[in-house]
Structure 1
Amino acid sequence: MIYPDAFLSLERVRWNMAQDVPWDKFDSALLTDEQAATIKMNAITEWSALPATEMFMRDFHDDSDFSAFMSVWFYEEQKHALVLMEYLRRFRPDMMPTEEELHAVRFEFDPAPPMETLMLHFCGEMRLTQWYRCAGQWHTEPVIKHIYGLLSGDEARHGGIYFRYMQQSIDRLGNEARVAFAKVGVLMTSASRTAKALHPTNLHVNQSMFPKDTVQSHLPDPAWLEHWLDNQIKFDSQWESKVINTILTKLSNLFGRNFANTKELNHYRKEVGTAATATS
């Protein structure tokens, strides 16, 4: 089981909202209305860990180890929403999300292949790690800069635990898992082929609600994410390359192959897919 060790490793580095956030360093002159609005949107987006957890608990019902890990992941992700809301409560209460705005991102996700979902969320954590690092550099107010640093560190650690479950899945399922991980890996390293931000909260998850079936489509401003990335924090090609290189490096380690780019990963996807078909 991975959960007991994962719990302890995350417990050792867990930050405390009261003690580890320098609330007394707040400088009102360094927080703009524009910046405060983005904090609100990030808080609501983080709240969507609630329906994601419900999805994981349903689709991973046969995996009690991973389901137990969800107790830690859910707690820490909801703490992200909470610390952002606490920042707004203290310093910009007019920007606090309402309960209705938070509840709007709780809707049912359609069932999906569990291994693809696992890989998708691993990639999502790798991407969010860099988004928050970039956001921390864009912000000028010291307390929120510190908070985004805390969040970024959490997301990186979560990705590391997801990766351990991916390793375990290959041991158990072999090519079935490899095909799923490679398939999603190709999608999530192909940002240049789409103008859409490649993150779980921006993907369609409920066919009956289409096209309003992404988390981002349920935000007060559905167009916020792309504007935040492109025009505010300026998550450019250099930042994007960090995400892609991280995913390719991790998959290289996972599969025992060296992937220099998405094209090479796609070749591997086809290769392992053929092998899986031949043995099925």
Structure 2
Amino acid sequence: MLYPELFKSLESVRWNMRTDIPWDKFDESLLSDEQALTIKMNAITEWAALPATEMFLRDNRDDSDFSAFMSVWFFEEQKHSLVLIEYLRRFRPDLMPTEEELHKVRFDFDPAPPLETLMLHFCGEIRLNHWYRCAAQWHTEPVIQNIYKTIAKDEARHAGAYLKYMRRAVHDKGQVFADQAKQAFAKIGLLMASARRTPQALHPTNLHVNKDMYPDDTVQSKLPEPGWLEHWLDQQIRFDAEWEAKVSQRILHNLSVLLEVPIKTVQDLNRVRKSLMSPPNASGSESALAV
């Protein structure tokens, strides 16, 4: 089981919201209304760990190890929402999200293949780590800078935990399962490493998850300002091509190690994906998944 060791490692670096956030360093003159509103939106977005956890537990009922890890992931993700709300409570109480606004992002996600979902969230944690690091540079108020740097480190650790479950899938569950896992990881990895080619921000909270509610079936669509994410990324924190390249390279590097093949570009990954979909020495055209 991975859960016992993951619990200990994450517990050993867990931060305390009361003592590890420098609340006394707050400088009101360095927080604009524009910046404060983005904090509210991120607080609501982080609250969506609740329906994501419900999805994980439902779709992984046969995996008690991973389901137990969700207890840690859920706690820490909800803590991210809570620390952002606490910041607003202390310094901009007029912008605190209401319980109704928080509850609106709790809706059912359609069942999805667990391996694809695992890879999607691994990539999502990498992306969020970079988003928050970029946001910390954009903000000018020192306390919120510290908060974003702190939760960014959590997101990186969560990516590392997901990666351990991905390694388990590839190495510890038999060849048939390993082949399925490699195909799933390459398929989703190609999508998530190709964000510069898509018009939308590729993160689990910005993807469609309930066909009966389409098109209002993303977490972002449930926010008070549904279009805020792209504006935050493009016009405010300026998450540009240089930042996006860092995300892509982290995804590609980890897949290269995981799949034990050289992967330096999206094109390399696409070739690997196609090879995984085709039986060795197969004749005819290679099969390809739509991504």
- Common topology (TM > 0.5): yes
The Cα shift of 1:192 comes to: 1.8
Q: How does 1:1-280 map to 2 (within 5 A)?
A: 1-171=1-171, 172=173, 173-275=177-279
The Cα shift of 1:275 comes to: 2.8
Gaps of 5+ in 2: 283-291
Moved over 3 A (4+): none
State the distance in 1 between where 2:99 and 2:17 align.
21
The 3-state SS of whatever aligns with 1:174 is: helix
Counterpart of 2:218, as a letter, is T
* Cα deviation code 1:223-276 (max 9, x no counterpart): 000000000000000000010000000000000011111111011111011139
Counterpart of 1:27, as a letter, is D
State the distance in 2 between where 1:41 and 1:73 align.
20
Counterpart of 2:118, as a letter, is L
Residues 196 and 244, structure 2, Cα contact 8 Å, conserved in 1: no
Counterpart of 2:275, as a letter, is E
* Cα deviation code 1:98-120 (max 9, x no counterpart): 00000000000000110000000
Counterpart of 2:217, as a letter, is D
Counterpart of 2:266, as a letter, is T
State the distance in 1 between where 2:262 and 2:219 align.
34
Residues 130 and 239, structure 1, Cα contact 8 Å, conserved in 2: yes
State the distance in 2 between where 1:114 and 1:266 align.
21
State the distance in 2 between where 1:239 and 1:132 align.
11
Residues 48 and 215, structure 1, Cα contact 8 Å, conserved in 2: yes
State the distance in 2 between where 1:61 and 1:262 align.
33
Counterpart of 1:256, as a letter, is E
User: Matched residues, percent identical?
Assistant: 67
The Cα shift of 1:3 comes to: 0.3
* Cα deviation code 1:154-197 (max 9, x no counterpart): 00000000000000011212110000000000000111211100
* Cα deviation code 1:55-91 (max 9, x no counterpart): 0000000000000000000000000000000000000
State the distance in 1 between where 2:42 and 2:180 align.
35
State the distance in 2 between where 1:274 and 1:3 align.
34
State the distance in 2 between where 1:207 and 1:161 align.
30
Residues 175 and 273, structure 1, Cα contact 8 Å, conserved in 2: no
Gaps of 5+ in 1: none
State the distance in 2 between where 1:163 and 1:273 align.
22
Counterpart of 1:146, as a letter, is N
State the distance in 2 between where 1:85 and 1:23 align.
13
State the distance in 1 between where 2:19 and 2:241 align.
36
Q: CA RMSD in A?
A: 1.1
Residues 127 and 243, structure 1, Cα contact 8 Å, conserved in 2: yes
| TM norm structure 1 | 0.98
* Cα deviation code 1:2-56 (max 9, x no counterpart): 0000000000000000000000000000000000000000000000000000000
* Cα deviation code 1:196-228 (max 9, x no counterpart): 000000000000000000000000000000000
The 3-state SS of whatever aligns with 2:279 is: helix
State the distance in 1 between where 2:277 and 2:179 align.
8
**Of Structure 1 and Structure 2, which has the larger fraction of its residues in helix?**
1
State the distance in 2 between where 1:204 and 1:275 align.
32
The 3-state SS of whatever aligns with 2:278 is: helix
